[in-house]
Every structure is written in structure tokens, then in C-alpha cells.
């Protein structure tokens, strides 16, 4: 069971330090769950430093497919490895929708990160319009076609209509999507989409759900720790 907190563009170095110190204390006795936090790039190093020696991993929110070059604003997998970063999120719906990332680019970023020894959380999921048109399986099949099952790859199913909206997929919708994904790619599948302490236990108890990619609820240390505790009981 993996619980990863995607902080998006929140928390500079001071806030990251404060959060990680408290998270380390809150999860000191928690077992049977893997935990990762994903700060923005400037806060990665302080997260790695404070969480060193714990079982809490630090991952980036994106990674480029080239090792170096004229790619202004991008960060390579070797740079992340040098920082002591454990892995990276790739293909988050916000990257796809707001910054034009493509399935092909997601595949290349994933391949580069895995080859460099990073773990990857690759995100897939349909929009509300695609679900209403009954295209969910076609969308997932297309997004997964650029990926290959590997030990360090995890998929996050994040229905776009449930991200930051307060909407959450019903257990039936989540289980069905996770089973479909696992039928195409034999890897762990996290659920992402308005996961919070109130619904975490129900979602994480589903047979095909292997953890959660938590957004807004991961910004509050008590909230995130509560979700991690729910996972340890699932």
C-alpha cells in the first residue's frame, strides 16, 4: 500500500521543513504502508534532508526525458537522483491539460526516469466529458499504451472530474477502473481524486486499490497522516 502526497505548487522550503518534521513524528509507529511526499522542485532537497533515515520517501512532480540539454525549465532524472529523490510523478492531468503534455511525452519521461533508477507514478484518467460519452476504457487504453509493466512503475488512476472538485469516484467506479487498468498492465494502481480522511478507508479497502495519490488533503499534516493511518489498517 502506497500513499503519496502531491503538493502541487505549494510549500516553500520553510513550510516543507515544518511539515516533514511533524510527519516524521506522526508516522513514527506506522507500519505496513509506504509513504511519499512530492514537494515542488525548490523544496525537494530540504525534504530529502529531513526525512533521511526514515521510511518516508521524497518524489518530484515531474521529470524530463533527456539527461541534459537546452530544455529551459525542465529537470532531468540524474539531477533528481543526485538530490536523493526516490521517484517522480509523470503525466498528472494538470500537466496534460494546462501544459499540453502528450501520451508520447509521458511515455518518454517514464522510460527515462525508470532507466535512471527512479520510481514512477504515472497518471491516467478520463475527463467528465469522456466518461459521459462512455469513452473511459478507450482513454485509459490509449494512455497506458505508452507504458510497460516494471517493478518501479505504479499507475495512479485519477478521474479528471474528481480532482480538486470535491467529487470522488464511487467505490464501484474506482474498483471497475482499477480492474480494467490491471487487466492491461500488471502493476500496482493508486486512486487519485479528492481523497481525504473521510473517504480514505472506504477507497483503500477496495481489492483493486493499492493506495492513493493525495492532492489537497496532503497539504495538511494531520489530514495526510490520518490517510496514511487508514492505509495501514486496510
What are the pLDDT digits (tens) for 17-39?
Answer: 999 999 999 999 888 899 999 99
Among residues 94, 101, 126, 158, the one annotated as catalytic is: 158
The confidence score (pLDDT) of residue 97 equals 92
Q: How many CA atoms lie within 13 A of 153 on its CB side?
A: 25
The confidence score (pLDDT) of residue 128 equals 87
Confirm whether 172 is a catalytic residue: no
The answer to whether domain 2-233 has CATH 3.20.20.70 is yes
Ranges under pLDDT 50 in the chain: none
Q: What is the pTM of this model?
A: 0.95
Confirm whether 158 is a catalytic residue: yes
Among residues 64, 92, 101, 178, the one annotated as catalytic is: 92
The confidence score (pLDDT) of residue 122 equals 98
Give dist(CA 139, CA 124) in Å, integer.
8
Q: How far is CA 32 from the centre of its chain?
A: 18
Give dist(CA 121, CA 89) in Å, integer.
5
* Beta pairing partners, 214: 5
Domain limits of the chain? 2-233
Amino acid at each position: 500500500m502506497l500513499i503519496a502526497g502531491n503538493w502541487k505548487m505549494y510549500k516553500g522550503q520553510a513550510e516543507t521543513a515544518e511539515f516533514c518534521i511533524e510527519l516524521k513524528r506522526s508516522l513514527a509507529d506506522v507500519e505496513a504502508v509506504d509513504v511519499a511526499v512530492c514537494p515542488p522542485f525548490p523544496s525537494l532537497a530540504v525534504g530529502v534532508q529531513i526525512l533521511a533515515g526514515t521510511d518516508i520517501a521524497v518524489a518530484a512532480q515531474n521529470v524530463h526525458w533527456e539527461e541534459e540539454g537546452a530544455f529551459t525549465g525542465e529537470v532531468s532524472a540524474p539531477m533528481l537522483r543526485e538530490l536523493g529523490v526516490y521517484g517522480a510523478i509523470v503525466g498528472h492531468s494538470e500537466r496534460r491539460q494546462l501544459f499540453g503534455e502528450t501520451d508520447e511525452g509521458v511515455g518518454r519521461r517514464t522510460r527515462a526516469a525508470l532507466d535512471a533508477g527512479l520510481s514512477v507514478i504515472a497518471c491516467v484518467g478520463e475527463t467528465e466529458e469522456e466518461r459521459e460519452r462512455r469513452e473511459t476504457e478507450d482513454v485509459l487504453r490509449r494512455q497506458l499504451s505508452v507504458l510497460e509493466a516494471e517493478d518501479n512503475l505504479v499507475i495512479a488512476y485519477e478521474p479528471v472530474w474528481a480532482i480538486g472538485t470535491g467529487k470522488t469516484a464511487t467505490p464501484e467506479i474506482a474498483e471497475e477502473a482499477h480492474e480494467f487498468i490491471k487487466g492491461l498492465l500488471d502493476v500496482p494502481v493508486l486512486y487519485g481524486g479528492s481523497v481525504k480522511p473521510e473517504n480514505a478507508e472506504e477507497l483503500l479497502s477496495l481489492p483493486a486499490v493499492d493506495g492513493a495519490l493525495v492532492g489537497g488533503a496532503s497539504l495538511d499534516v494531520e489530514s495526510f497522516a490520518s490517510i496514511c493511518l487508514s492505509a495501514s489498517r486496510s
